[in-house]
Structure 1
Amino acid sequence: MMALARLLAGVAALSMAFVAPAPAAARVPGFVAISRADPSILSDIRYASRHNFIGRPIDGYREPLCILTTEAATALSVAQRAAVRRGYSLKVYDCYRPQRAVDDFVAWAEDLGDTAMKAEFYPDLDKSVLFEQGYIAAKSGHSRGSTLDLTLVKLPPRAQPAYRPGKPLVSCKAPVSERFPDNTIDMGTGYDCFDTLANTLDPRVTGRPLDNRLLLKRIMTDAGFTNYDLEWWHYTLAGEPYPDTYFDFPVALRSI
């Protein structure tokens, strides 16, 4: 009996050694990280950090990555080459955005008491009107994978100081010398500025900031992107591959 018991125990141990591992989460085909597709493109993924209009990392941003559909990534690389020829680099702030992040935005917008970042990102707006005026919505083109937010940086890029939570906030509408010291060229407002001054062709924006916005628009349009005219930083690939699909996989290399 003891010999039989030892034999059965050995068989059990052997079978345990060959148990197949649990399958990994399915990867989503057709997407690529820009850091791999074109490492020359700079990034400052704000929603993976505390420097955004909520003031904390957003749900679904597990890594500070720009993920795009392969078609959008290819077109963005074309835009980057055009920018470099002019002495600039593109810098992305946000790319693919999972639906869970959009839901996080909505939940935050419904909490009217949380205005921690108001002084920088929506200095002249009451938070209660962010839905009504279209700054927050239940769906975002970013979740389709071919929309991104970006700007231009003069080459060679200057060092950008780290964002320090708790430091006094400065309005996104303030002069560029007073705003957060982003290393980008002056676009007339900071990124994610909830104000009509961020409209691409707002008539109050003139001189160099307007020239800079038009330069970015020309570079991106020539590469096949279309600007959302209410936000100078927002572009979508024309003919995007998933025009009706809103994805929800997390922003992480293991997703793609």
Structure 2
Amino acid sequence: MTTWRHSVKSLLIATIAIAIVSSAHAQSLPGGFVYLRDIDPTIIQDIRYATSVNFVGRPLAGYGAGECVVKREVGLRLKAVQQELSSQNLSLKMFDCYRPGRASLDMVRWSQNGRETAADRRYNPRIPKTELFRLGYIASRSQHSTGAALDLTLVDLKADNSAKYDSSRIYADCTAPVEARIPEGSVDMGTGYDCTDLKGHTAASSINPDQRAWRRRLVAAMAKQGFVNYSKEWWHFSLPGAGGAAYDFPIPPRRN
């Protein structure tokens, strides 16, 4: 009986030890990286590449959790942007933050797989996917992998943001009116997120005055904290000097 109790006790201790190690591993990040949720939990997150609601149509390699991971300085500056926006009943919404290097290669492989589907054309209505790399929409090495680049938008907290993606519905492409395209629970920027089209360029002339005003408002709010917009994507911003080496660690779940 003593031997049996000793074996059970040893097994229990080993199980607890494994659980502790696994839990610690589940939220371990390289030095300098943080979960944005730990810096500012009020910033809304909708990490699209951890889901199937993106231009590839499935979760990308390395996205083990739908969490925004950034360099600490980036997180602190986002917090400052959010504090200013909150007084205007607005919020940031994050679509992508740190991106594992393997996810960028996953995008490149997708662009070269020789298939053009209706789902692809929701995001690339006029540009063949094989051209996305040459035109600068996809890169084998992304600034996102440094932890200093972001994809984001604005949310009007007074508006009805309850519309959700319905997998059974056929949506129009990303340049269509907001009520016809994939819902994003955010202000109408003139195109959906990840829209590889001239209309997605930040200074596009083909959008209406309200949409143009929202883009300018987002760019101005981010610029106050040093973020720079990428002219071909109204949603993409980076913080010069905060990046450095590119990383390829997978995004682990955050422990509450």
TM-score normalised over the length of structure 1: 0.86
The separation in 2 between residues aligned to 1:209 and 1:235, in whole angstroms, is: 18
The separation in 2 between residues aligned to 1:212 and 1:254, in whole angstroms, is: 32
Unaligned runs of 5+ in 2: none
Amino acid at match of 1:98: P
The separation in 2 between residues aligned to 1:127 and 1:202, in whole angstroms, is: 21
Specify the structure having the higher radius of gyration (Cα).
1
Query: Structure 1 vs Structure 2: percent identity of aligned residues?
Result: 38
**Alpha-carbon distance, 1:254 to partner:** 5.8
1:35 — aligned with what? Answer: 37
What secondary structure sits across from 2:233 in the alignment? coil
Unaligned runs of 5+ in 1: 1-8
Maintained 8 Å contact 1:227/1:236 = yes
Q: Cα gap change, 1:210/1:120 in structure 2, threshold over 3 Å: closer, same or farther?
A: same
**Alpha-carbon distance, 1:224 to partner:** 1.5
1:182 — aligned with what? Answer: 184
1:5 — aligned with what? Answer: none
Maintained 8 Å contact 2:161/2:186 = no
**Alpha-carbon distance, 1:30 to partner:** 1.1
Q: Cα gap change, 1:254/1:36 in structure 2, threshold over 3 Å: closer, same or farther?
A: closer
Is the counterpart of residue 78 in structure 1 residue 80 in structure 2? yes
What secondary structure sits across from 1:209 in the alignment? helix
User: How many residues align structurally?
Assistant: 243
Maintained 8 Å contact 1:173/1:197 = yes
CA RMSD of aligned residues (A): 2.4
Moved more, 204-213 or 47-56: 204-213
Pick aligned residue for 1:101 from 100, 103, 107: 103
1:131 — aligned with what? Answer: 133
The separation in 1 between residues aligned to 2:182 and 2:188, in whole angstroms, is: 12
What secondary structure sits across from 2:234 in the alignment? coil
What secondary structure sits across from 1:51 in the alignment? coil
Moved over 4 A (4+): 16-19, 21-26
**Alpha-carbon distance, 1:143 to partner:** 0.2
TM-score normalised over the length of structure 2: 0.86
**Alpha-carbon distance, 1:157 to partner:** 5.4
